[in-house]
Chain A
């Protein structure tokens, strides 16, 4: 649940609240893609937004979303020792939809294939294919070279292809 209404907030704070509401879903989901754990993802997104808020006066007129995204991704990559976890199947979305079973199956497939990647590979895959960032920008955000982005991305996709058939089978079996 969001909190924020009723605060005696300054104008800058109101802007931040608006920004946070708009950005949070994608940040949380990106963190989930990188960790496979909802609680960890929410913690990471909350940390990223807190740090963004701490610098709000400096970045509000710049690329605040990019700033929050960079903090989030690097925060998670720094925690590379944490293993990716299986998605707990009992945690289905509260807002049930007709296709909820399909979404759970897709999420399980996604967790399975991302789970074979190293933390850096996951970060690059998420930045490249979820946020649709060009390689040069991924390199800047992770403070690595473009060559490293290319080679790591290529290696990650190879792994995903290797995982593909089994994952597809799993998905079909869940239908």
Chain B
């Protein structure tokens, strides 16, 4: 038996027939996610495509197990790989997000601090990054998320992708969630994220190749280093194999 045959065999014979998944929880979470999408689609036309890596929105709790939500297709297009949701909290309205119908008048999230122009263009739109306030149930130390958006010539911001922590602190030193294009946005989203600490350089590795990120410090907290990869260096959606940050003395952080 060759190594490859042995590998195939081993992967199959170790499969366990009895799964121990909680189907009730699966369907409950799925309903919440579906509800969140509907709220997001109805509430903010600019917030339609990609909310990434977070806990189910608090608004979803308004309809747990509601059979009326079953099999009702979302009224808006959603990303091909839908993520679990988070509630971007509009400034001035802290606390619980209003329920479904109120979501229709909910304003889009407002940037905290300055909007960063990446220098990347999508037609006449600028690719921009900005921080927004978020609310993750049970995670009081997660208050910000990072958005990859576009800014039209007349200044309107469109959210393509939001990433945020789902546990711990959004200001803990080191790397936080990294956003990858999932194909759900009208414009490809260059890989992005943020690092907390005195990073002067951030280097990603993909297929053994090193790629330098572009950096900008968040105006509201200079410890937060926002980074993104030029799509010419790293194709949007391509997963990094590793990433490191270095300080001004080239020491790894």
CB contacts (< 8 Å) of A40 on chain B: these are none
CB contacts (< 8 Å) of B33 on chain A: these are 50-51, 54
Asked if residues B16 and A53 are in contact (CB atoms below 8 Å), the reply is: no
A55–B8 alpha-carbon span in the complex (Å): 32
Asked if residues B241 and A118 are in contact (CB atoms below 8 Å), the reply is: yes
* CB-CB nearest in chain B for A119: B241
B232 CB-CB contact with A under 8 Å = no
A10–B27 alpha-carbon span in the complex (Å): 12
CB contacts (< 8 Å) of B246 on chain A: these are none
**Which one, A2, A71, A103, contacts B21 given CB within 8 A?**
A2
| Secondary structure of the B contact surface, majority rule | loop
CB contacts (< 8 Å) of A56 on chain B: these are 30, 71
**What is the 8 Å Cβ interface bit string for chain B, positions 219-231, against chain A (1 contact, 0 not)?**
0000000000000
Asked if residues B67 and A10 are in contact (CB atoms below 8 Å), the reply is: yes
Asked if residues B241 and A54 are in contact (CB atoms below 8 Å), the reply is: no
Knowing A52-B30, A143-B237, the reply to whether A33 touches B81 (Cβ < 8 A) is no
Residues of A108-156 contacting chain B, CB below 8 A: 109-110, 113, 118-120, 125-126, 129-130, 142-144, 148, 151-152
CB contacts (< 8 Å) of B23 on chain A: these are 2-4, 17, 20-21, 49
Residues of B1-38 contacting chain A, CB below 8 A: 3-4, 7-8, 10-27, 29-31, 33-34, 37
**What is the 8 Å Cβ interface bit string for chain A, positions 25-38, against chain B (1 contact, 0 not)?**
11011000100000
A157–B4 alpha-carbon span in the complex (Å): 8
CB contacts (< 8 Å) of A98 on chain B: these are none
Asked if residues A53 and B27 are in contact (CB atoms below 8 Å), the reply is: yes
Asked if residues A54 and B37 are in contact (CB atoms below 8 Å), the reply is: yes
CB contacts (< 8 Å) of B175 on chain A: these are 81
Asked if residues A25 and B16 are in contact (CB atoms below 8 Å), the reply is: yes
CB contacts (< 8 Å) of B31 on chain A: these are 53-54
CB contacts (< 8 Å) of A54 on chain B: these are 30-31, 33-34, 37, 82
With an 8 Å Cβ cutoff, the count of chain B residues facing the other chain is: 52
Asked if residues A106 and B21 are in contact (CB atoms below 8 Å), the reply is: no
CB contacts (< 8 Å) of A78 on chain B: these are 53, 178, 180, 239
Asked if residues B3 and A164 are in contact (CB atoms below 8 Å), the reply is: yes
**Which one, B16, B81, B242, contacts A93 given CB within 8 A?**
B16
B76 CB-CB contact with A under 8 Å = no
A106–B15 alpha-carbon span in the complex (Å): 11
Knowing A12-B70, A12-B71, A106-B14, the reply to whether A120 touches B21 (Cβ < 8 A) is no
* CB-CB nearest in chain A for B174: A81
Asked if residues A4 and B24 are in contact (CB atoms below 8 Å), the reply is: yes
**Which one, A1, A8, A12, contacts B20 given CB within 8 A?**
A1
A104–B242 alpha-carbon span in the complex (Å): 31
| Min CB gap B109→A, angstroms | 22
Asked if residues A53 and B207 are in contact (CB atoms below 8 Å), the reply is: no
B78 CB-CB contact with A under 8 Å = yes
Please name the 7 residue pairs, one residue from A and one from B, whose CB atoms are nearest each other, closest first.
Answer: A53-B30, A24-B19, A50-B29, A143-B237, A54-B33, A3-B24, A4-B23
Q: A55-B82, A113-B7 are in contact. List 15 more A-B contacts (CB 8 A).
A: A10-B67, A24-B21, A26-B15, A29-B11, A29-B14, A33-B11, A50-B30, A51-B84, A53-B31, A56-B30, A56-B71, A70-B81, A80-B240, A143-B182, A143-B183
20 A–B contacts, CB within 8 A, in A order: A4-B23, A10-B71, A25-B16, A28-B19, A50-B26, A50-B29, A57-B71, A74-B182, A78-B53, A78-B180, A80-B239, A80-B242, A93-B16, A95-B18, A110-B11, A113-B7, A118-B242, A129-B11, A144-B238, A161-B3
